């Protein structure tokens, strides 16, 4: 990633913004889930008997038992899942695997969860993702610790947990050390752009907010918008805004927000971040009509060169592949720095597990579900996933010898540059409704469309967070 021009005006962005402002696995909107959910003790009594434990079968899978695997059919497609099933069937030739690619996870699976007959393995992602916090709170998920402590597929001397990328295990933890969710993909979030488009403008990726505004101004003169985003699903905005806030004020600001602490949203770093993004609207740097666009439509406008930047996750390469020109040179950048007083350096970004897999507690064959995941965490399966869907997996490695696309290579480079400064906000998986419906759609969408000021937006975010903190029907989680 090229470095941007040095900041020459000597004035902090906060002061400039203060003066000028004196003036949205995986698309996953939440829905009420498991309101009438079966209790954790209900379900089928005909659990599969355990098989014989051995070096090749460390989870004691019943080698003749059926396996019911439901995979979200979305941006990553289903081919990688089908390939993984073939490996399971090769290892357990007497087992019959029922594999289903499903778009509407909640609609199809809620009746099965409520009836106590869920699948053995579920990729819980997409527009109808089941609320993970609710599932954990209702004791509906199996603890995946046996999988994490099992010998890894390729090297029995290493446990599965020792082969994973940073943050994967932690992301599956909610209220204790148990791990209830396994995120198979590894997502790099940030500001996505076309290197070709920047080259045509004769600019480099902006590493400071001053540079970001000047690049947007230059683009505007040529009839190109600076930014677009999923206006109908504005919870995509945090993919670059939250790490921007974390960069300004340190990761503790994001931790306080996740913990629903009083006045967390009133932190100066949140104010600075909101005001900077609002400035994009005030200066006319957002593509006209963006508030009415879906995630697919906004990505299409972007790949067609109508806007330079879009906040997104690394699934975008595969999801937008049909509209992306051959010479686009898709890349991801860490959020620009606000000014020299930022707590974290340029390069800090949000990267974490995505594409969450779960083994339901009431599954008939939970051992088989975990074994299928163990197989998927082999180097061969990981490489196949990366080759098929253009995304990194949770397996730490698996890219050696592969020719990576510009998008994937930029993600690898961005992670290397970030080093220890990888941020992982938990609001999106701890409090799905708060993050997506209330803060994403109800606040950030309104602010970026110019229908709410940053000050009003901050007040609203805090009131929504306070209401969630006081709601006894919601299971609450905290960083430990």
First-to-last CA distance in the chain? 34
**Quick count: other Cβ atoms within 10 Å of Cβ 155?**
12
In the numeric block, the tokens 């993919």 are attached to 239
Residue with the larger pLDDT of the pair 165 and 305: 305
Nearest to 421 by CA among 480, 349, 340: 349
Please tell me the distance from the alpha carbon of residue 111 to that of residue 102, in angstroms, as a whole number.
14
Q: Supply 292's token pair.
A: 């009415």
| Overall CATH class of domain 13-28+189-351+426-470 | alpha beta
Please write the tens of the pLDDT for every residue from 361-387: 999 999 999 999 999 999 999 999 999
**Quick count: other Cβ atoms within 10 Å of Cβ 450?**
12
* Cβ atoms of 26 and 354 closer than 8 Å: yes
pLDDT recorded at residue 12: 40
In the numeric block, the tokens 């954990």 are attached to 136
- Percentage of residues in the chain having pLDDT higher than 70: 91
Please write the tens of the pLDDT for every residue from 242-285: 999 999 999 999 999 999 999 999 999 999 999 999 999 999 99
Residue with the larger pLDDT of the pair 10 and 393: 393
Please tell me the distance from the alpha carbon of residue 321 to that of residue 303, in angstroms, as a whole number.
9
Residue with the larger pLDDT of the pair 21 and 315: 315
pLDDT recorded at residue 134: 87
Query: Degrees (nearest 5) of the Cα angle 286, 198, 280?
Result: 20
pLDDT recorded at residue 45: 57
Please tell me the distance from the alpha carbon of residue 43 to that of residue 45, in angstroms, as a whole number.
6
Ranges in the chain annotated CATH 3.40.190.10: 13-28+189-351+426-470, 67-187+353-403
Nearest to 104 by CA among 39, 33, 179: 33
pLDDT at 410 over 90: yes
Q: Supply 382's token pair.
A: 């990981």
pLDDT at 1 over 50: no
Q: Supply 57's token pair.
A: 């079968």
pLDDT recorded at residue 31: 40
CA 138 to chain CA centroid, Å, is 23
Please write the tens of the pLDDT for every residue from 416-458: 999 999 999 999 888 989 999 999 999 999 999 999 999 999 9
Please tell me the distance from the alpha carbon of residue 352 to that of residue 315, in angstroms, as a whole number.
12
User: 6: helix, coil or strand?
Assistant: coil
Task: Determine the length of the chain.
Answer: 480
Please tell me the distance from the alpha carbon of residue 171 to that of residue 286, in angstroms, as a whole number.
33
- Percentage of residues in the chain having pLDDT higher than 90: 80
Phi and psi at residue 225, in whole multiples of 5°? -75, 150
CA 77 to chain CA centroid, Å, is 17
Please tell me the distance from the alpha carbon of residue 187 to that of residue 332, in angstroms, as a whole number.
11
pLDDT at 473 over 80: yes
* Cβ atoms of 34 and 130 closer than 8 Å: yes
Please tell me the distance from the alpha carbon of residue 445 to that of residue 416, in angstroms, as a whole number.
32
Would you call 70 exposed, middle or buried from its count of C-beta atoms within 10 A (0-12, 13-18, 19+)?
A: buried
In the numeric block, the tokens 């998920």 are attached to 141
Phi and psi at residue 108, in whole multiples of 5°? -80, -35
* 4 Cβ contact list (under 8 Å, min separation 6): 204, 205, 206, 207, 208, 211, 336
**Of 25-34, 102-111, 393-402, which has the strongest mean pLDDT?**
102-111
Strands 392-393 and 330-333: unpaired
CATH number of 67-187+353-403: 3.40.190.10
Taking every pair of Cα atoms in the chain, the longest distance, rounded to a whole number of angstroms, is 71
Question: What mean pLDDT value characterizes the chain?
Answer: 90
Q: What value does the mean pLDDT take over residues 134-162?
A: 95
Helix (H) or strand (E) run with residue 148 in it: helix 145-149
pLDDT recorded at residue 30: 38
Q: What value does the mean pLDDT take over residues 378-407?
A: 91
Q: Which of 157-161, 307-311, 415-419 has the lowest mean pLDDT?
A: 415-419
Q: Supply 207's token pair.
A: 């590493």
SS (H, E, C) 207-274: CEHHHHHHHHHHHHHCCCEEECCCCCCHHHCHHHHHHHHHHHHCHHHHHHHHCCCCCHHHCHHHHHHH
User: 371: helix, coil or strand?
Assistant: helix
Q: Supply 157's token pair.
A: 């001397």
């Amino acid at each position: 990633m090229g470095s941007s021009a040095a900041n020459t005006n000597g004035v902090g962005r906060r002061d400039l913004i203060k003066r000028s402002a004196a003036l949205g696995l995986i698309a996953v909107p939440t829905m009420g889930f498991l309101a009438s959910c079966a209790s954790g003790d209900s379900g089928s009594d005909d659990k599969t008997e355990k098989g014989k434990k051995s070096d090749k079968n460390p989870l004691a899978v019943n080698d003749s038992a059926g396996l019911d695997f439901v995979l979200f059919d979305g941006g990553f497609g289903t081919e990688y899942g089908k390939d993984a099933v073939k490996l399971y069937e090769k290892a357990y030739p007497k087992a019959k695997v029922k594999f289903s690619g499903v778009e509407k996870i909640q609609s199809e699976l809620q009746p099965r969860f409520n009836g106590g007959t869920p699948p053995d393995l579920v990729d819980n992602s997409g527009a109808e993702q089941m609320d993970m916090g609710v599932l954990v709170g209702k004791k509906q998920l199996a603890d995946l610790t046996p999988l994490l402590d099992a010998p890894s597929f390729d090297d029995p001397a290493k446990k599965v947990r020792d082969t994973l990328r940073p943050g994967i295990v932690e992301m599956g933890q909610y209220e204790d050390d148990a791990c209830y969710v396994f995120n198979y993909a590894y997502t790099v979030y940030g500001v996505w752009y076309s290197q070709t488009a920047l080259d045509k403008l004769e600019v480099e990726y902006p590493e400071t907010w001053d540079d970001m505004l000047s690049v947007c101004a230059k683009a505007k003169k040529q009839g190109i918008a600076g930014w677009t985003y999923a206006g109908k699903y504005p919870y995509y905005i945090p993919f670059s805004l939250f790490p921007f806030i974390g960069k300004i004020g340190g990761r503790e600001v994001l931790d306080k927000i996740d913990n629903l602490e009083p006045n967390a949203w009133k932190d100066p770093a949140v104010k600075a971040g909101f005001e900077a993004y609002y400035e994009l609207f005030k200066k006319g740097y957002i593509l006209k009509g963006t508030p009415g666009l879906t995630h697919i439509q906004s990505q299409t406008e972007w790949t067609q060169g109508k806007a330079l930047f879009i906040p997104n996750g690394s699934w975008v390469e595969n999801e937008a592949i049909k509209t992306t020109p051959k010479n686009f040179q898709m890349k991801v950048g860490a959020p620009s720095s606000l000014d020299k007083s930022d707590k974290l350096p340029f390069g800090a970004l949000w990267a974490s597990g995505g594409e969450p897999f779960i083994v339901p507690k009431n599954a008939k064959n939970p051992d088989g579900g975990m074994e299928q995941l163990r197989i998927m965490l082999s180097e061969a399966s990981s490489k196949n996933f990366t080759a098929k869907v253009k995304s990194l997996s949770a397996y730490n490695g698996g890219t050696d010898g592969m020719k990576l696309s510009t998008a994937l290579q930029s993600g690898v480079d961005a992670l290397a540059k970030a080093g220890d400064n990888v941020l992982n906000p938990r609001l999106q998986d701890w409090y799905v409704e708060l993050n997506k419906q209330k803060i994403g759609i109800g606040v950030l969408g309104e602010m970026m469309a110019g229908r709410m000021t940053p000050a009003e937006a901050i007040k609203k975010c805090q009131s929504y967070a306070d209401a969630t903190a006081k709601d006894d029907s919601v299971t609450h989680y905290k960083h430990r």
